[in-house]
Structure 1
């Protein structure tokens, strides 16, 4: 009898221990997705910048960076793909957050394309969003109606950073209630304040959480705190030509850029820095000083988020991903255009200046072109993932990733099943692939399917080493071998007609599957992008 009792207790002990181990291993991570707005590939220190971003850089050097990660080149279509894991047309935002009269171009997320919030809630997560939404203006399609437990931020595409009593109020929304930014607040700080309050309140639930932290900096208008601007006085006296070379050399040293690849040819609309007078250079410097200050403040706030995780002892079970929604904003010739409306100096509450094409060419180093274009400068984002003791510190991988991959990646980490049906509707299946193994093992991603883009008549395909791209209103296709020339300096389409033909066929099949229309048939009277400020 005594032996049986000992054996029973022993079995109970083993079973209890196994249960405890199972419970511990089945501890889904918290997930924080940080997106900045209109920031170029090289604008943080870990990707070659002179801008002070120690907190972001720490995430990079303690985690993994991808050399190749793609967005959709402009705000709303990027967010549609990001939030749903769909190509933007499939999600209903094939053009922008305006309705062009067709389901693929309705300007808000359709119900067949599930959001992070909707899917992760089914897996037991608290879901939060603080910052920019921009995928549905009507209140029926705001974040709280699309699976987010709590939301603070703004609905449209841009916002002032200060509450200026001489200007229109800064309109915000908090959990479906319209509010305004208070005088004395700076929006980047307030977006973080709300995110931290969400995390604090979430402590009571004992659930894992998902936080989408969508900063609007450094998107125009150029408005920054005086103490941040002061750090960058005189830092840009060298001009964009010299600083672009310096950044490129740093990227090579960091192992992010192949030294054999030529840097992209300077845009013909970007003048040489030495062509300006001393006073003109002072004005241009001020723009980049403020732009840098805006990113500096984002970095400070990311430091606050990490500090909060450590305070609550959540840091070792939290995955953080950092990306940008598109390349830096160009598209404007720096001379001979109407100046924006300003009621104060650059950087102040009355400033409506933007970075402009010349400085954007620096931000997008070493690539070609800008936001709204499908050359590498428009669609390349830095990508950082940090997960202590899970992701090997200091890793760099090729990728090649895209926004559509983040939803399956997060669901993979969370153990969340993407439903085939939701609220009586058959859902759109996820378009991307999980990057979990890439992040945890640092391995290259071998994509079986190409990546595709279309917006406003611009088109592109990326398959393996090949990139096919066409820029509206031209209809011809250019072909680049990105294994040898990621700066896209040499069009090799004439030498590879069979590759061009094959990629066009794949593009057309994808376009048909995703209800992509001929842009000439649907283009609005006022086009967003291609020179329009947005």
Structure 2
């Protein structure tokens, strides 16, 4: 279409009129906006991050002639409290002295006397699920944490990866004006994401915490921990200090962070998540604490269990008519044990009690620091005594080295007694006998892992907040769960649950706020239904009743198929300890609760039930991703390290070779080329006085070494370690844990050969890492320390190939 000149003129005039009209409208809106600029605009905290208010355009040319607008900042609601969550690891209902325990916990008791104890508070029976549920306010399958991260699968509810639709409490608080810090254990990161390649989005500092100082995984050596400051590994945190202990270190870090935060931003509330590795294995504690508990457990677990039970009744944390539930049939009576067994097991309990003592003392140091800042009254402290029941994973005898359990090696009492005097020291990696777990879970039958019994899920818990709770030394009996803590904290801070976080719509929190109970000791329960499930152990609470099945014991395989499990029924409103199974008397009630469980299981992504405990440790069988994938070769370079075994090439149960291209000064060369694991199981290829050495450390119980017959020449060398595995069977399937022959060559010439009698078939370590050019944490070989293990030459590259 063509336009003549008149038409063009009319069109231009019309556009000019339209632009003047738009300009007038904008000026009018600007005037209105300017008039309202000084007015308080309601903050929309349902959408996070909180958007800055709209600023009208400034049309004044000279800055001297106009008032500067305020700089937008996000502030927490007025009177929002500081919040500190403290959670002990692997401690049952009868662990603290405020809940009847025989080990004094003065800090826990101090907070209880000035706050509230909750005696119907529950966990998920396993650490990763409890922690992710606590931090999100949602059921553990809703946040894909059906089990620990090391047992993740590809099924929804079990992937180990937090969905973006379930933002964590620290992220919500941070985006609402809080400072946030995490100290201690983080067992919520998918195992294949713990490497420099990431993604790092689910690490603490990228999922809500401004500060993280702690370890990733289920446990760490408290004397030689593998820890991170943010996303940066901390190289040798002990720095040669013989008295170093991570529990003290993390407490000091937390105190320093809170002090700095209060110095610089005193009007800004802080959220501190303080979660030590204590009292999870390894039970590492200074001798000064152990001395305090010597002889206190000589009476044995049966006597002390009854003592805890009587204490609980005297303190009123269990009803006076409660019955002490039977212990599992597999747990021997103390009187039937040999003198050597009693001696060893009593020592194990002394060290465990000492570890709890130390943890509570360090928590006391944290609480005192907050008090010294004048912030204790305005700080809501939630102290949860356990992320699940006490652990029975030490088996019937306990363990000198916890890794023997995962590799199917049985430790004898005689072998463990050789380490009696050093139990709990850096030369041990210990756990205790299961009888003690049952004891400290009094008055219940079961322990950690058993989600179908309160022994695995009921935790002593205290809330201390003088500015917000009128009652002192109060007891609250309302039924609650860890998913209730996040909604409680948000309500206390005056914050709504957000609908959108970082552009993603949010799944509503599934917990209920506990705030109604603070000043309402007789208030009716608000958490009326809750399912439980961990690897086939499953149950459901429904308005005063509990039904469940113990499908698998912590120390043995499943007792039945999932289809043939026998369910139990308890009227827990009247039977606190679950001592009277009513399944035969009330079959219709049992059927009703089984239907409730199934409904909840479908709703929250619990199905399918997966009881493959050992098989799920194998990533291929479990169906989860691995960093190595199908690769059979990995080339690494100097400086790479801090790699957990899930993120390193797997040399177990197969032949392999390591080829290292190095440059040295010959016989003066020393240090590690590449290593994996440490004192309690691992291997290392290193150079000592110029000679290459390969050492295989079998669970700290036996060591095999091959040393080259002569030093390296000065200059460049190629060192090769060839391991020929002996475990190939006639059917083509490898035998697990067999030995092999290790052969060294230097520049193509034979340099030495020797037998490795046995190998670890399943796990190197829960915390030790693989490193190039150094052996971090604990040393594989006594030939060096971490400090002396740094390679003195130059590493061009190292290639590991499995066959």
Which residue number in structure 2 is paired with residue 338 of structure 1? 410
CA contact (8 A) 1:131 1:152 kept: yes
Aligned match for 1:283, one of 344, 350, 375: 344
- Matches of 1:54 and 1:503, distance apart in 2: 40
Deviation at residue 468 of structure 1 after TM alignment: 0.7
Instruction: For residues 396-452 of structure 1, give each alpha carbon's deviation from its aligned partner in whole angstroms, at most 9, with x where no partner exists.
Output: 011211011000001011112221111221111100100012124334451364011
Which residue number in structure 1 is paired with residue 511 of structure 2? 432
- Matches of 1:235 and 1:448, distance apart in 2: 39
- Matches of 1:162 and 1:24, distance apart in 2: 39
Deviation at residue 488 of structure 1 after TM alignment: 2.0
Provide the alpha-carbon RMSD of the alignment.
Answer: 2.3
| Corresponding position: 1:378 with 2:440 | no
Aligned match for 2:123, one of 56, 71, 94: 71
- Matches of 2:499 and 2:543, distance apart in 1: 30
User: Which runs of 4 or more aligned residues in structure 1 lie more than 4 Å from their structure 2 counterparts after TM superposition?
Assistant: 340-344, 520-524
Deviation at residue 372 of structure 1 after TM alignment: 0.2
| Corresponding position: 1:495 with 2:573 | no
Which residue number in structure 1 is paired with residue 750 of structure 2? none
SS state of the match for residue 459, structure 2?
coil
Instruction: For residues 34-90 of structure 1, give each alpha carbon's deviation from its aligned partner in whole angstroms, at most 9, with x where no partner exists.
Output: 001001111111001121211111101111101110000011111110111111111
- Matches of 2:514 and 2:455, distance apart in 1: 23
- Matches of 1:511 and 1:519, distance apart in 2: 9
Alpha-carbon spacing, 1:332–1:486, altered in 2? closer, same or farther (3 Å): farther
SS state of the match for residue 68, structure 1?
strand
Alpha-carbon spacing, 1:253–1:117, altered in 2? closer, same or farther (3 Å): same
Show structure 2 runs of 5+ residues with no match: 1-74, 194-199, 399-408, 552-557, 619-762, 767-803
Whichever structure has more strand as a proportion of its residues is 2
CA contact (8 A) 2:345 2:397 kept: no
SS state of the match for residue 504, structure 1?
helix
Alpha-carbon spacing, 1:220–1:385, altered in 2? closer, same or farther (3 Å): same
Instruction: For residues 112-171 of structure 1, give each alpha carbon's deviation from its aligned partner in whole angstroms, at most 9, with x where no partner exists.
Output: 1111111111221101100011001423311001010000000111111102xxxxxx21
Deviation at residue 110 of structure 1 after TM alignment: 1.8
- Matches of 1:416 and 1:231, distance apart in 2: 45
Alpha-carbon spacing, 1:521–1:395, altered in 2? closer, same or farther (3 Å): closer
- Matches of 1:40 and 1:189, distance apart in 2: 23
- Matches of 2:568 and 2:121, distance apart in 1: 21
Instruction: For residues 155-209 of structure 1, give each alpha carbon's deviation from its aligned partner in whole angstroms, at most 9, with x where no partner exists.
Output: 111111102xxxxxx2111111011431432111111111111101111123000
Which residue number in structure 1 is paired with residue 96 of structure 2? 44
Structure 1 segment 132-143 matched on structure 2, within 5 A: 132-136=185-189, 137=191, 138=193, 139-143=200-204
Deviation at residue 333 of structure 1 after TM alignment: 4.2
Deviation at residue 363 of structure 1 after TM alignment: 0.5
Alpha-carbon spacing, 1:411–1:520, altered in 2? closer, same or farther (3 Å): closer
- Matches of 1:241 and 1:497, distance apart in 2: 33
Which residue number in structure 2 is paired with residue 192 of structure 1? 251
CA contact (8 A) 1:398 1:445 kept: no
Instruction: For residues 213-264 of structure 1, give each alpha carbon's deviation from its aligned partner in whole angstroms, at most 9, with x where no partner exists.
Output: 0111011111111110010011111111111111111110100111212111
- Matches of 1:216 and 1:520, distance apart in 2: 27
Instruction: For residues 444-488 of structure 1, give each alpha carbon's deviation from its aligned partner in whole angstroms, at most 9, with x where no partner exists.
Output: 451364011122112111112200111224423211111232222
Structure number with greater Rg is 2
SS state of the match for residue 105, structure 1?
coil
SS state of the match for residue 383, structure 1?
strand
- Matches of 2:91 and 2:613, distance apart in 1: 27
CA contact (8 A) 1:100 1:524 kept: no
| Corresponding position: 1:356 with 2:433 | yes
Alpha-carbon spacing, 1:490–1:332, altered in 2? closer, same or farther (3 Å): farther
CA contact (8 A) 2:77 2:495 kept: no
TM (norm. structure 1) is 0.90
Alpha-carbon spacing, 1:133–1:521, altered in 2? closer, same or farther (3 Å): closer
| Corresponding position: 1:517 with 2:631 | no
Deviation at residue 356 of structure 1 after TM alignment: 2.1
Which residue number in structure 1 is paired with residue 361 of structure 2? 300
Q: Which moved more, 1:233-242 or 1:514-523?
A: 514-523
| Corresponding position: 1:387 with 2:443 | no
- Matches of 1:134 and 1:24, distance apart in 2: 29
Alpha-carbon spacing, 1:159–1:27, altered in 2? closer, same or farther (3 Å): same
Which residue number in structure 1 is paired with residue 375 of structure 2? 314
- Matches of 2:524 and 2:182, distance apart in 1: 29
Deviation at residue 280 of structure 1 after TM alignment: 2.8
SS state of the match for residue 248, structure 1?
helix
- Matches of 1:295 and 1:24, distance apart in 2: 35
CA contact (8 A) 2:285 2:351 kept: yes
SS state of the match for residue 142, structure 2?
helix
- Matches of 1:273 and 1:521, distance apart in 2: 31
- Matches of 1:24 and 1:346, distance apart in 2: 48
Alpha-carbon spacing, 1:238–1:433, altered in 2? closer, same or farther (3 Å): same
Which residue number in structure 2 is paired with residue 467 of structure 1? 546
Q: Which moved more, 1:368-377 or 1:474-483?
A: 474-483
Alpha-carbon spacing, 1:120–1:335, altered in 2? closer, same or farther (3 Å): closer
CA contact (8 A) 2:180 2:209 kept: yes
Alpha-carbon spacing, 1:348–1:510, altered in 2? closer, same or farther (3 Å): same
- Matches of 2:154 and 2:534, distance apart in 1: 16
CA contact (8 A) 1:126 1:210 kept: yes
Deviation at residue 389 of structure 1 after TM alignment: 4.6
Instruction: For residues 73-111 of structure 1, give each alpha carbon's deviation from its aligned partner in whole angstroms, at most 9, with x where no partner exists.
Output: 011111110111111111011122133013311113221
- Matches of 1:25 and 1:459, distance apart in 2: 40
- Matches of 1:500 and 1:280, distance apart in 2: 41
- Matches of 2:77 and 2:521, distance apart in 1: 22
SS state of the match for residue 310, structure 2?
helix
Instruction: For residues 370-391 of structure 1, give each alpha carbon's deviation from its aligned partner in whole angstroms, at most 9, with x where no partner exists.
Output: 1000211100100101112532
Which residue number in structure 2 is paired with residue 366 of structure 1? 443
Aligned match for 2:274, one of 213, 218, 223: 213
Structure 1 segment 68-107 matched on structure 2, within 5 A: 68-98=120-150, 99-107=152-160
Which residue number in structure 1 is paired with residue 219 of structure 2? 158
CA contact (8 A) 1:85 1:403 kept: yes
SS state of the match for residue 315, structure 1?
coil
Alpha-carbon spacing, 1:520–1:187, altered in 2? closer, same or farther (3 Å): closer
Alpha-carbon spacing, 1:252–1:448, altered in 2? closer, same or farther (3 Å): closer
CA contact (8 A) 1:100 1:522 kept: no
CA contact (8 A) 2:528 2:541 kept: no
| Corresponding position: 1:181 with 2:237 | yes
- Matches of 1:247 and 1:496, distance apart in 2: 31
Which residue number in structure 1 is paired with residue 424 of structure 2? 347
Q: Which moved more, 1:341-350 or 1:227-236?
A: 341-350
CA contact (8 A) 1:123 1:415 kept: no
Structure 1 segment 118-129 matched on structure 2, within 5 A: 118-129=171-182
- Matches of 2:612 and 2:137, distance apart in 1: 25
Which residue number in structure 1 is paired with residue 261 of structure 2? 202
- Matches of 2:610 and 2:464, distance apart in 1: 43
SS state of the match for residue 348, structure 1?
coil
Query: How many aligned residue pairs are there?
Result: 503
- Matches of 1:74 and 1:463, distance apart in 2: 21
